Structure 1
Amino acid sequence: MFKVNAKTFNPEILYVFDVTTSGSSIGSKHHHDFLEMSVIVEGEAFYTIENQLNHLEEKTILLFNPGVDHHEHSISGMESTQLHIGFRNVTLDCFPKNFFPIESPIIHLSEHNEDFFTICRKIMTERSANQPGHELMLKSLVTELIVLLLRDKYALTHQNTAVALSKEEQDKQQLVNDIIHYLEAHYPEDITLNSLAQNYFISPTNLSRVFKEETGDSPINHLIKIRLEQAKVLMETEKEITIKEISHLVGYEDALYFSKLFKKYYGQAPSAFLKKSS
């Protein structure tokens, strides 16, 4: 199994949806700047991947690294039920972020196959039920799918060393992983760029540079996102709670400032989100 840092393994789920198609259809050629998993749960479909046509049947997993061109089409008489998952913020030790070392995007599991597709059906059921907290449940189930891929003997390959990180790059990756873990564990506290730099014996300028190189974001923006995500969780799970209480619990003494940040990131005031969740 490929190594992952359990402290910082926290995939961001961008979308999860399932679709059933019947008859002739054709999609447009495209690629993503994130990871995508497409699972043929039932039926069959044609996928063109990097200009190569493939006829795929049920219980086939497609894992697309960022930048891999692909599109789907079907002909008359074809039917399929597919599950599509977009995600990012996944790092395997010694490899770039959001990259899986695979020889081909087309994967057939040699182990845990039944477990994998049982979870796929659980995801489809969870989406249909749309119960409170379903986003957390979906994230948990998608994380299970990723772990089963990592556990399989033949799904991933250790031979793709051309993109493996150098020792210096691995050290930077480890530093950023440690910082992210610290932010996730201490987000309610008073954290500044200077205090982070002191904790890790690095200058604020270098810390910001390395963090942005690895994540595309600044440490403080990442902290804000963690706090706001936690605020959403509180709104979805704690029914008898006020905006002021939520603000304090996630590290903001000023509830008005918290509300402005929340609206900026999520497009609605926390009061509206809390009312909707209730």
Structure 2
Amino acid sequence: KPLTEYTFNPLANCSLHLLFSYYGSIVNNTYSEFNLSGEIVRNLDTSFLDGIYETYHLPVYSFRGNYYNEFVYAIVSPADKKTDIFPVVDEIRQNAQQSDTYVNFVLSAVVHSGEEIRHLMQNAYLFTLFHLPFGKNTFLIQDDTFTAKDAIEISGQIAALAAKFRPGITENELKHILSDMTAWWRESDTTQFQLLADVRHIASAAIHVSPNASQLLFDPTEVIASSDSYDELLENLLHELTKILFPEHMQQKKSSSQLVDDIRAYLDKNFTQQITYKVFYDIWGYNEKYITTLFKEAFGISPSKYITSLRLEMAKNIMKKNPQILLKDVAEQTGYTDALYFSRVFKNNEGMSPSAFIQSLA
């Protein structure tokens, strides 16, 4: 037969559920270097899965997901008999829970064919974006009938509060407005997708009344990405909006050239080490948001991206000198604990995989 007539189904006689776990808010790799959630995922201990197989006789496979703070468990059960997978799900959740941040779990619908996996994951991600609340532990089960909404509207309460931004607003008024916003989001179990739309609207409303808006950058995605709770979100929003609405208060901080020089010198020396946001506070007494702002203003790049650039430059030099080296060894030498993650970062930044880069040297 022609090759196209042959089909291979890796799930023949099997059923597959995917259990997605998210440590903190759902964000991409851009802001992962200093975030505690990404560090948790990189160092997860999955040895408990052996015990699950011994108890339930169901194989469970684990792998890192598309998002830097996502971990996925694939639960395989026989298709010829009805199997209750929820005891397995409950045990995974108990073992995967961490006290350092909140954890969300989303159980996918079931598939019986390997060809359906890509469609299943796409639907599961859409379901997650539209349903997963920010800032709390949650367990959701994917609805087979779910379809994405055409558009997401700004929350009416948030729009009303943002309308209070005006020239001459005081810092106390700003704090009160933001406190009301975060309290409303918390009480409403706001999804991260909705939260992103609301924060974009808030940024736009603040910039609209600021005489210096054209000189200021406010990335809502980054603000949410660096917030593991509503308390942190409030702090980060206050910091960003203070820059916009009270630029005169930031002048003294902007002149802290010695601080950013010290930070860059530290990163130049320690970029192959595992650096989290706690390092900033422990050494300099400032949070990540403040230091990131100063660093970007001084050097035009965030500390996270600066570390990535140093690591990738080192990786390319290593591969040029030793094209036969294993990728896992390159990853370890440049500060990545996971070779797959290293390859993903390399390709995202260089436009080719590390293997393709080595081949290009020939």
Q: Same fold (TM over 0.5)?
A: no
If each structure's strand is expressed as a fraction of its own residues, which one has the higher value?
1
Q: TM-score, normalising length from structure 2?
A: 0.29
